Amino acid sequence: MLRLSERIKMAKYALVGGLNTGVDFVVFCILIYGMGMGSFGAQTISYIAGVANSYLLNRYWTFQVKGKRGMAEIVRFLLINVLSFAAATALLLGLEHWGTESAIAKIASVVCSLAVNYVGYRLWVFRGMELQGKRAN
């Protein structure tokens, strides 16, 4: 069973993820269905739009990191998002190849992305930063 503090982090992460996902999904659908863009280009632009506020919301609200932002943290954040983007895009394009509607394939890719990001953020990007921030107070 998860500790209460971990459940709260997961709930906050889910809320932030919901906001990011909404932006990602709406931008994707506008680009695919409204502008006729291809899936890879739409995925790239919509993913970047969703990531734009993810870093700040997760750093300061979800994981409550109070310490200074270092270059290593930013690089780790970007690497996790590149990995997440690659996994989500592979799933999206694979599902479309098998005949799945773009919007449905996008939903599956978002679930994949959320899982990769949470594990990466929690275990690598922001790990130990919470304690550093608490010690500084």
Residue bearing tokens 């799945």:
100
pLDDT at 10: 82
**Per-residue confidence in pLDDT tens, the chain, 137 aa:** 678 888 888 899 889 888 888 888 999 999 999 999 999 999 999 989 888 778 778 888 888 877 777 788 788 888 999 999 999 999 999 999 999 999 999 999 988 988 898 889 888 887 765 444 444 44
Phi-psi bin for 2: left (phi > 0), alpha (psi -120 to 50), beta?
A: beta
pLDDT at 85: 94
- Maximum Cα–Cα distance across the chain: 54
pTM over 0.95: no
